[in-house]
Structure 1
Amino acid sequence: MPAQRFALPSEVPGLAARRIAADILDGVLHKRRTLDDQLDGAGAHPGLKTLSDRDRALMRRLVATVLRRLGTLGHVLSRLLDRGIPTDAPRAQSALLIGAAQILWMDVPDHAAVDLSVRLVQSDRRAAKYAGLVNAVLRRCARDGAPLIEEVRAQTLDVAPWLLARWIEHYGESTARDIAVAISHEPSLDITVKSDLTQWATRLHGETLPTGSVRTLLQGSVTMLPGFSEGQWWVQDAAASLPARLFGDVAGKSIVDLCAAPGGKTAQLAQAGARVTAVDRSSNRMARLRGNLARLSLEARTVVADAADWQSGESFDGILIDAPCTSTGTIRRHPDIGWLRQEDDIGPLVALQKRLLQRAATLLKSGGTLVYCTCSLEPEEGEQAISAFLVAEPSMRRVPIEASEVADLAEILTAEGDLRTLPCHLPQDEPRLGGLDGFYAARLVKS
């Protein structure tokens, strides 16, 4: 009997994208590496350079779909496997997850999902012995997977239990489940334009949101979309565009953007005419910010420094703190966060946020405005952080945000007048066109 010939990845369309997706999933699930680290910068997967734009987009969708549906996938596969997912061959686990995700949620023919997952394990020495198992399980998944999903649809398995418990406690069970549903869908692309909102909505085949962003379902490389290279817009979730607007008219005013990279809020302030100083501790992230500003033909002074310790010889009219946080409000765009973060992460981040607020108070002019924001759904990093700060700093007082300042979206304001967006806000019949990142923002003035 002739030896079986294993196809090289380059011989099978789509296999390279799946192989890299498996590597990146292994990085998240077993090595606790973020998607951002593996997709961009010095730590990016070397194979990404070999992928076409189409395969790169496919790879991202594969990874994101697995991570968004990880709990449900675990349930389905556990029902289809007699002895559980193999633990001695990560590639077999990744192949099962990727294959099942394609069968159950992606527009990929079942036979292609099965065949490519089998090839994926065949090309790995440790996993090759599981090729028959992967083939059989995924064929069963194509036949029986949908009813298995229905068994657990109401159980919210795709949110880490500690997070779901917190959201139920702070937002109520109904809202917590709405959040879980919202983050299970692939999000749209939100864009902040420099001018001509309606024109760019048309050119980008999108729609205008009440917040003033353009929302589009266009996919592929962002850099290839109309207007990108000309610097007419930048990518920014609609909720993330709101905090910078809370300063009001900033023309001619001196504003510091602490923890500024990658620079969406810096760009907003510069576009509005402010004299912006952007501070960030990462030289690599600051280089990216400078590149974004250059593309947009906008100017800002940039400083590489730890914002919590940064000293300045002047005081400022306004300070924006987009503080480092658990980022649980961005899980719909960064689905790895829900599985990488732990509840123990909150305490150290709250301590850092406190230091940033204290530093900002010393940098602010009397009568100046401080806007504090985090992309977290955890109240310790939002409402509770500001309550504690106001007690500790009697010179600071809250200036409630009016609904008219946020497109009359009263539902995104708290009783105290702070901003609190949730992933389930702005619902639409087409789930991908609805939702916002979870953001908290408060506006304070130094008396």
Structure 2
Amino acid sequence: MPHPQPHVPEPPGVPARRAALKVLDAVLRRGSPLEAALAGAGAGLPPPDRALAHALASAVLRRLPDLDALIDSVTARPLPPDAKARAVLRIALAGALVLGTPGHAAIATVLPLVDGGPRKLVHGVFGTLMRRQARLPEPPNLPAAIAERWLANWGGEAVEAARRAVAEPPPLDLTLRDPAETERWAERLGATSFLPGHLRLPARMPVAELPGYHEGAWWVQDVAASLPARAMGSGGGRVLDLCAAPGGKTLQLAAQGWDVVAVDQSESRLARLRDNLTRTKLAAQVVCADVLRWAPDAPTDAVLIDAPCSATGIFRRHPDVLHRAHPAFIAEMAELQARILSRAAEWVKPGGILVYATCSLEPEEGERQAERFLNDDARFAPEPAAHDGRILPSGFAQGCDGFFVARFRRNA
């Protein structure tokens, strides 16, 4: 009886590339979010390998059009978009040209992912590009469909800002529990500030090791993501925070004096909200429910809807959205937003406030949605606030997430 072959560990660096290959397949072929794909592909990997897989996949997604242009420049016929040889070359080139991996290591660690003829092809294409001292353009190019859409909607300046923003993970923005302490915390952390209660630090800071984290003085939140709760103003009544997780706006509303009911259908994401409420010593009622099936026991003073959307505005930290947000998906999300808006409008007291927001750069999920709502419900009127409207990637120094915020008042 033959003995089973002993398991031979893969050479260092190969497991991370194998995981990155699986992540990219899930994102680009199946439309999975990057983080969800990594949770599956990276299961069982040591933390350094998991981090490398994430960095490689993210680098490919940030630079995909330019990586493909390099590959196509040295092949007699373009490789199919879903060819494994193309996917492996993307990873090798991202390692060498973006992450600074030595060329010999970048190619040696991807060759085990392909067999036969493609292995020779991958080696040849990579070697040719390295001998030509290939470089990627700066700033990166956006996917053509995204660039055309955003150019038509927002103009060339916004597209150029988006190109600069996609190159690297964004800086770290914090929201303070007490805006009156902005100057003190800015000095203590060496941070810059664009608004009261906001701080900005460099990317890749060790969040849990920063002063103020354990005492709950602040939480991580992009400056643009803080604008919907700022548009709500100071409290004095009960507010429903719908689609609330992971909870930055819930914390803001509680700190602004509102009696908050936070509703979201994801129990795992609400766990993070509960942890942050405990850490910051802020209070809110947390409800795990689908807002299309749940209803409050009585009308309320205010409602904040951070609606599910295509999320194209958060491409700086989630570059996968640039490759998943197709027109059909955007239209699907817009219909869902309209249903949530229509339902939530019934829960606002006469004279109450309704704030609608999305982390999207698509007018269908912003301006057009607001116009549609006002046309359909004569009980509400637009009420300009200090922090509403369209927020583009060029909205603050060094950039920000793309957002749309609209505030409405129900007729008394």
Normalised to the residue count of structure 1, the TM-score between the two structures is: 0.82
Contact 2:111 2:123 in 1 (8 A): no
Contact 2:352 2:410 in 1 (8 A): yes
Tell me the amino acid that sits aligned with residue 183 of structure 1. V
Cross-structure match for 1:100: 93
**Residues 136-176 of structure 1: CA distance to partner in whole angstroms, max 9, x if unpaired?**
332332332546x45xx79x7432x3322221222234433
Identity %: 40
Deviation at 1:120, TM superposition (A): 2.9
Matches of 1:300 and 1:128, distance apart in 2: 59
Cross-structure match for 1:411: none
Deviation at 1:204, TM superposition (A): 4.3
Deviation at 1:15, TM superposition (A): 4.1
Cross-structure match for 1:445: 409
- The answer to whether 1:65 aligns with 2:29 is no
- The answer to whether 1:51 aligns with 2:47 is yes
Match of 2:394 among 419, 424, 435: 424
Contact 1:103 1:142 in 2 (8 A): no
Cross-structure match for 1:119: 109
- Bigger mean CA offset, 269-278 vs 21-30: 21-30
Contact 1:186 1:333 in 2 (8 A): yes
Contact 1:309 1:359 in 2 (8 A): no
**Residues 57-93 of structure 1: CA distance to partner in whole angstroms, max 9, x if unpaired?**
4433222111011011000011123344477863x43
Cross-structure match for 1:30: 29
Cross-structure match for 2:3: none
Cross-structure match for 1:393: 377
Matches of 1:38 and 1:88, distance apart in 2: 17
What are the residue-to-residue correspondences of 1:395-410 with 2, within 5 Å?
395-401=379-385, 405-406=386-387
Matches of 1:167 and 1:436, distance apart in 2: 16
Tell me the amino acid that sits aligned with residue 79 of structure 1. S
Distance change >3 Å, CA 298–CA 38, structure 1 → 2:
farther
Deviation at 1:439, TM superposition (A): 0.3
Please state whether the residue corresponding to 2:301 is helix, strand or coil: strand
Matches of 1:331 and 1:15, distance apart in 2: 28
Please state whether the residue corresponding to 2:110 is helix, strand or coil: helix
- The answer to whether 1:188 aligns with 2:189 is no
Match of 1:299 among 283, 290, 298: 283
Distance change >3 Å, CA 95–CA 44, structure 1 → 2:
closer
Deviation at 1:224, TM superposition (A): 4.2
Tell me the amino acid that sits aligned with residue 150 of structure 2. W
Tell me the amino acid that sits aligned with residue 63 of structure 2. R
- Bigger mean CA offset, 57-66 vs 241-250: 57-66
Give the CA RMSD over aligned residues: 2.7
Contact 2:218 2:280 in 1 (8 A): yes
Matches of 2:116 and 2:177, distance apart in 1: 53
Please state whether the residue corresponding to 1:443 is helix, strand or coil: strand
Tell me the amino acid that sits aligned with residue 151 of structure 2. I
- The answer to whether 1:359 aligns with 2:343 is yes
Cross-structure match for 1:244: 229
Cross-structure match for 2:220: 235
Cross-structure match for 1:142: 130
- The answer to whether 1:378 aligns with 2:362 is yes
Please state whether the residue corresponding to 2:260 is helix, strand or coil: strand
Aligned residues: 403
Cross-structure match for 2:103: 110
Deviation at 1:295, TM superposition (A): 2.9
Cross-structure match for 1:79: 73
- Bigger mean CA offset, 384-393 vs 303-312: 303-312
Contact 2:358 2:405 in 1 (8 A): yes
Contact 2:254 2:282 in 1 (8 A): yes
Tell me the amino acid that sits aligned with residue 141 of structure 1. L
What are the residue-to-residue correspondences of 1:280-291 with 2, within 5 Å?
280-291=264-275
Normalised to the residue count of structure 2, the TM-score between the two structures is: 0.88
Matches of 1:338 and 1:351, distance apart in 2: 20
Contact 1:76 1:145 in 2 (8 A): no
Tell me the amino acid that sits aligned with residue 244 of structure 1. A
**Residues 296-332 of structure 1: CA distance to partner in whole angstroms, max 9, x if unpaired?**
3222111122213322221111110001111111111
Tell me the amino acid that sits aligned with residue 215 of structure 1. R
Matches of 1:181 and 1:306, distance apart in 2: 37
- Bigger mean CA offset, 198-207 vs 253-262: 198-207
Matches of 1:38 and 1:20, distance apart in 2: 9
Matches of 1:332 and 1:181, distance apart in 2: 9
Matches of 1:378 and 1:21, distance apart in 2: 29
Tell me the amino acid that sits aligned with residue 103 of structure 1. A
Tell me the amino acid that sits aligned with residue 65 of structure 1. A
Tell me the amino acid that sits aligned with residue 395 of structure 2. H
What are the residue-to-residue correspondences of 1:236-275 with 2, within 5 Å?
236-250=221-235, 252-275=236-259
Unaligned runs of 5+ in 2: 1-6
Matches of 2:128 and 2:358, distance apart in 1: 44
Please state whether the residue corresponding to 2:282 is helix, strand or coil: coil
Contact 1:57 1:220 in 2 (8 A): no
Unaligned runs of 5+ in 1: 1-5, 407-417, 428-433
Contact 1:121 1:130 in 2 (8 A): no
